[in-house]
Amino acid sequence: MARPTPSTRRPGWCCGGVTPEQQAAVEALVDERIRTRRPAAYLTGEAWLQGVPFFVDERVIVPRSLIAEPLADGTLDAWLPAETRRAFARKTRKGPRPARGRARARPRVRGSVLDLCTGNGSLAVLAALAWPEVGVDATDVSADALAVARRNVERHGLQDRIWLRQGDGLAAADGAYDLILCNPPYVNRDSMNQLPPEYRAEPALALDGGADGMDFVRRLIHDAPQHLTGHGMLVLEIGHEREHFEAAFPRLPAVWLSTSAGDEQVLLLTRESLAATGLQAGGPTPATRERAGARSERAS
């Protein structure tokens, strides 16, 4: 079909059934995106992950976690032990969703998931949608992030299945979980200093993982076994930090999961493997080495 010309367009309409006002609004968004380098999701207030829409603004990073892929495609189900897999059965939800905005008592659930560092709540929502009989705790240190997550939980009518908790790391965890999902701050310091403007527009708290990117991960690996059931699992995203991860945890037997970005960005750890390694990171951290070097210089 030929592109409509000014003489063939309907009065008040632009090409493709778009009004001139709508076209002007789109062009203004494009211009702002080019001029400010702010992420498009911040300009539109929305981002999609695995076909599910989420509200976003500058209080949270744009939802893009690769954990969403093995969660949505059923890969994680295959790693669940038989007794846990029954609780995590994927079924079509029966009956109407609860009315939004009403207070609810915590219902009985057959399994439990923790979305640690939930941010906008996207992984918590995807987990609740994937496993209708599972309860999900979503925690974050940022009250601002949890406000955004609450909006998304309510948007998808999941207030009866997702509980938001504020706290640093696992401090906000409520007991032990069958599955912990975590997309933590893992960007190393050198990479932080080279981030393009789009990423610099996002909250540094959700990105900065310290000198080697493993500051938060070290605490998580140490504390996770206390918050996993006997057959529980931790699924962790570390981006491009596999080299730093393996340097920090050389004896930790991780299972690397395939994603659209490759096989080195998302890993799975069982409670058994975490406990068997003695919960110790391998070797000193960069900060520890710096302090040790300073002490050595003073001693000499």
Token pair in block for residue 74: 């059923």
- The answer to whether residue 295 scores a pLDDT higher than 80 is no
Going along the chain from its start, the domains and CATH numbers come out as 66-92+108-286 (3.40.50.150)
Strands 52-55 and 162-166 turn out to be: unpaired
Residue with tokens 């009403």: 102
In this predicted structure, what is the pLDDT of residue 278? 60
Least confident interval from 72-81, 91-100, 112-121, 212-221 = 91-100
In this predicted structure, what is the pLDDT of residue 90? 80
227-244 confidence digits (pLDDT tens)? 999 999 999 999 999 999
Global confidence as pTM: 0.81
What's the rounded Cα separation, in Å, for the pair 193 and 216? 18
Question: Are the beta carbons of 219 and 168 closer than 8 angstroms?
Answer: no
Nearest residue to 126 (alpha-carbon basis) of 181, 71, 165, 183: 71
